[in-house]
Amino acid sequence: MSILSIWNKNATLTLIRRSENYLKRSLSSATSHSYQYDLIVIGGGSGGLACAKEAVANGAKVAVLDFVKPTPIGTKWGVGGTCVNVGCIPKKLMHQASILGESIHEAATYGWEIPEQQNVKANWSKLTEAVQNHVKSVNWVTKVDLRDKKVEYINGLGYFKDPHTVVAVMKNKSEKELTAQNIVIAVGGRPRYPDAPGAIEHGITSDDIFSLEKEPGKTLVVGAGYIGLECAGFLKGLGYDATVMVRSIVLRGFDQQMANIVADSMVEKGINFIHKAIVTSVEKQKDGRLLISWKNTETNETGSEIYDTVLFAVGRKGLVEDLKLENAGVTSIADDKIVVNEQEQTNVPHIFAVGDIIKGKPELTPVAIHAGRLLARRMFSGSSQIMDYADVATTVFSPLEYACVGMSEERAIEKYGADNVEVYHGFYKPTEFFIPQKSVRYCYLKAVAERSGDQKVLGLHYIGPVAGEVMQGFGAAIKSGLTMKILLNTVGIHPTTAEEFTRLAITKRSGLDPTPATCCS
> How many CB atoms are located within 10 Å of the residue 322 CB?
14
Q: Is 275 a catalytic residue?
A: no
Give SS3 for 356.
Answer: helix
Q: Where are the beta strands (DSSP E) in 253-341?
A: 272-275, 277-284, 290-296, 302-307, 309-312, 316-318, 333-334, 337-338
Distances (CA, A) of 324 to 127, 163, 192, 237: 40, 11, 20, 43
- Phi and psi at 38, nearest 5°, equal -75, -30
> How many CB atoms are located within 10 Å of the residue 211 CB?
17
Specify whether the CB–CB gap between 292 and 305 falls below 8 A.
yes
Residue 338 pairs in a beta bridge with 333, 358
- Phi and psi at 83, nearest 5°, equal -55, -55
> How many CB atoms are located within 10 Å of the residue 72 CB?
15
Distances (CA, A) of 230 to 90, 192, 313, 345, 478: 12, 17, 10, 33, 26
Specify whether the CB–CB gap between 365 and 373 falls below 8 A.
no
The DSSP symbol for 76 reads -
Report residue 33 CA to chain centroid gap: 39
Say how far apart CA 301 and CA 396 lie, in whole Å.
31
Catalytic residue among 95, 105, 202, 494: 494
- Closest residue by Cα to residue 366 from 472, 459, 464: 472
Cα-based angle 213, 45, 192 (whole degrees, multiple of 5): 60
Active site amino acids: 494
